[in-house]
Amino acid sequence: MIDLHTHSTASDGTVRPQALVEEAVKAGLSTIALTDHDTVDGVAEFRSAAEQTDIDAVPGVEVAARWYETSLHIVGLYISPSDPDLLELLARIRKNRQERNARILERLDNLGRPVSEATVTRAAGGTVIGRPHIARALVEHGHCRNSREAFEHYLGRRAPAYIRRELPLPHEAISRIHEANGVAIWAHPVGIREQPYSKLRRVLEKLVDVGLDGIEAYYSEYTREQEKLMQDLAEKYALVTSGGSDFHGENFPDIALGRGRGNLEVPDSIVRPLQQRAGMYATACS
């Protein structure tokens, strides 16, 4: 059993990278990727911890990209975490995120729901601060009962404190992942925000045109029908497949490492094609 989409305290998860490996051992995983949002700060600790186990620890990252009025996420797997061009892109994204966070806090203050920056930083505990941490701070300040309520009333896309992020275009995210010897995967094309098949296909075709390698065909939010759709699309466009739980620890306590909401099964057989695709980029860059 494998899990190629997880988060640690380096971004918006609640489990340290070392402890993530320990949890993977308990869960009986053979391969796990750390794919924190817009940072690789947890990768060194993650890989060091895995050296003491039989687990294959895959260095990864989840990069947010702009798509018209919304966004999509590209997961990079088997990346070189010290690649300077990738690091520059991630630093730029994090800087823009920090500026956005300040504007969200200003809006919350204007709405009569003040949240201190110190509380948000304490809730984050890592290098990447995002809306989940602001949501936890809203709860700590007594403005909301839980994080779900915080998103519904203040932080969600149509809520009054929401501010859109400034993000790179998909082709830049994909090219930087390739330059870092990584495989570029479209994360959760369906599941979080379901969209019509025709639109999904059009977006996929544009991403393939700019170098996308694969899609997540296995994900905690998928129905069996959606999983089959992703597999069919991967075959149609000659893409590799990936998948994982999108584990965040206590921030999403109903999603378990490797098992999602209980019925996730990411097959070991997808690892070899991913490794081969990554090997192509490593050879090209050498």
Q: Does one domain contain both 115 and 255?
A: no
Q: Is residue 148 part of a domain?
A: yes
pLDDT of residue 14: 87
Q: Is residue 49 part of a domain?
A: yes
User: What strands lie across the sheet with 70-77, from one edge to the other?
Assistant: 2-3, 31-34, 56-67, 70-77, 183-186, 214-219, 240-244
HSE-up (13 A, CA, CB side) for residue 99: 10
Regions of the chain short of the pLDDT cut 70: 69, 125-127, 191-195, 284-286
Q: Is residue 59 part of a domain?
A: yes
Q: Does one domain contain both 55 and 103?
A: no
Q: Cα angle at 91 between 161 and 46, to 5 degrees?
A: 100
Q: Does one domain contain both 203 and 251?
A: yes
Q: What CATH code is carried by the domain that includes residue 228?
A: 3.20.20.140
Q: For the segment 90-126, what is each residue's pLDDT rounded down to a tens digit?
A: 999 989 988 999 999 999 999 999 998 888 888 776 5
CA distance 199 to 186: 15
Q: Does one domain contain both 130 and 258?
A: no
pLDDT of residue 127: 60
Q: Partners of 215 in the beta sheet?
A: 186, 241
Q: Is residue 54 part of a domain?
A: yes
pLDDT of residue 195: 65
Q: Count the domains in the chain.
A: 2
Q: Is residue 186 part of a domain?
A: yes
Final residue of a structural domain among 112, 130, 155 = 155
* Angstrom distances, CA of residue 214 to CA of 5, 111, 187, 190: 14, 42, 9, 14
Q: Is residue 66 part of a domain?
A: yes
pLDDT of residue 275: 96
CB 12 within 8 A of CB 248: yes
Place of tokens 């380096």: 10
pLDDT of residue 120: 87
Domain span at residue 144 reads 99-155
pTM of the model as a whole? 0.87
Q: Is residue 61 part of a domain?
A: yes
The letter for the amino acid at 186 is: W
Render the chain in DSSP notation, one character per residue.
Answer: -EE--B--TTTT-SS-HHHHHHHHHHHT-SEEEE--BT--TTHHHHHHHHTTSS-EEEEEEEEEEEETTEEEEEEEES--TT-HHHHHHHHHHHHHHHHHHHHHHHHHHHTT----HHHHHHHH-SS---HHHHHHHHHHTTS-SSHHHHIIIIISTTSTT--PPP---HHHHHHHHHHTTPEEEE--SSSSS---HHHHHHHHHHHHHTT--EEEEEETT--HHHHHHHHHHHHHTT-EEEEE--B-GGGSTT-BTTTBTTT----GGGHHHHHHHHHHHHHHH-
Nearest to 43 by CA among 69, 67, 77, 2: 77
Q: Does one domain contain both 26 and 67?
A: yes
Nearest to 32 by CA among 5, 51, 9: 5
Q: Does one domain contain both 235 and 131?
A: no
HSE-up (13 A, CA, CB side) for residue 159: 18
